Amino acid sequence: MTTKPLPLYRILQAEGFGTRRYCGDLVAAGLVEVEGQPCDDADAPFDPEGLRITVDGEPWVCHVRAYLMLHKPAGYECSQRPLHHPSVYTLLPTPLRVRGVQAVGRLDQDTTGLLLLSDDGQFIHQQTSPKRKVPKVYEVTTAEPATEAQAQALRTGVQLDDEPAPIAAMGCDIVGERALRLTLSEGKYHQVKRMVAAAGNHVTALHRSRIGGLALDPALAPGEWRWLTTADLALLAQKE
């Protein structure tokens, strides 16, 4: 997309490289290249979206809004102030942390898989609003062999202790002796683990593989991230 040209120092500031003065000093010191060319004019205007820069030797592609996919590993908390484990935000480069990206919903510290992050408040609200019923697919490893009776109970609805009515999965399939593929449209506290327990089994490992029509990129190793593309964002809107 085409955006309004901005002075280079403002682009650097918006991308998370520091304060206005610090970004101006970076440019003045000859530490910034734009599209492969040195630039020592902090006021030089550029269209920020997709602009390729290098800051003190580090390449960077500018984005007006940050939309990210992270392959969350086990042992990380989706919190800026973690209590017992490292924060997922430590897996991101400093500019993204400085500009304030937030996890779109949370995964438990021992849950792996697809985690979205953004600095777009409207996007975060849309993705987490219960009214939108965004389907999320989980690969569940169970302690005991999964049975059709358990899968049927999860599809029909199981009663959780603090819920007034049974909670049903959008879909549940047995995909291995001790493996279920569970699709939910809600994000209640420990929901998958509690639902599987209510159905008579126990979760030993949990991995989120898909949100909407967007699957976790198989090229991402645990702990790795990438920018979402326009096509990725369109897939998120799909309900099937």
Amino acid at 227: W
Same fold, 6-62 and 136-211: no
List of the chain residues with pLDDT < 50: none
CA distance 1 to 76: 34
Q: Which of 201, 34, 101 is nearest to 192 (CA)?
A: 201
Class of domain 136-211: alpha beta
**Tokens matching residue 166:** 């049974």
What CA–CA distances, in Å, run from 109 to 68, 78, 189, 219?
Answer: 19, 7, 13, 22
CB 200 within 8 A of CB 186: no
User: If one looks up domain 67-130+219-237 in CATH, what number appears?
Assistant: 3.30.70.580
pLDDT of residue 240: 55
CA dihedral 141, 145, 148, 154 (to 10 degrees): -40
CB 53 within 8 A of CB 7: no
Class of domain 6-62: alpha beta
pLDDT of residue 4: 86
CB 114 within 8 A of CB 69: yes
| 108 among known catalytic residues | yes
Q: Which of 25, 108, 120, 173 is catalytic?
A: 108
Bridge partners, 32 (sequence order)? 55
CB 70 within 8 A of CB 111: no
Distance of CA 67 to the CA centre of its chain: 8
CA dihedral 148, 179, 193, 167 (to 10 degrees): -40
The domain ranges of the chain are 6-62, 67-130+219-237, 136-211
pLDDT of residue 98: 92
User: Where does residue 24 fall: left (phi above 0), alpha (psi -120 to 50 degrees), or beta otherwise?
Assistant: alpha
pLDDT of residue 80: 85
* Model confidence, pTM: 0.89
pLDDT of residue 2: 56
Residue range 85-125, pLDDT digits in tens: 999 999 999 999 999 999 998 899 999 999 999 999 999 99
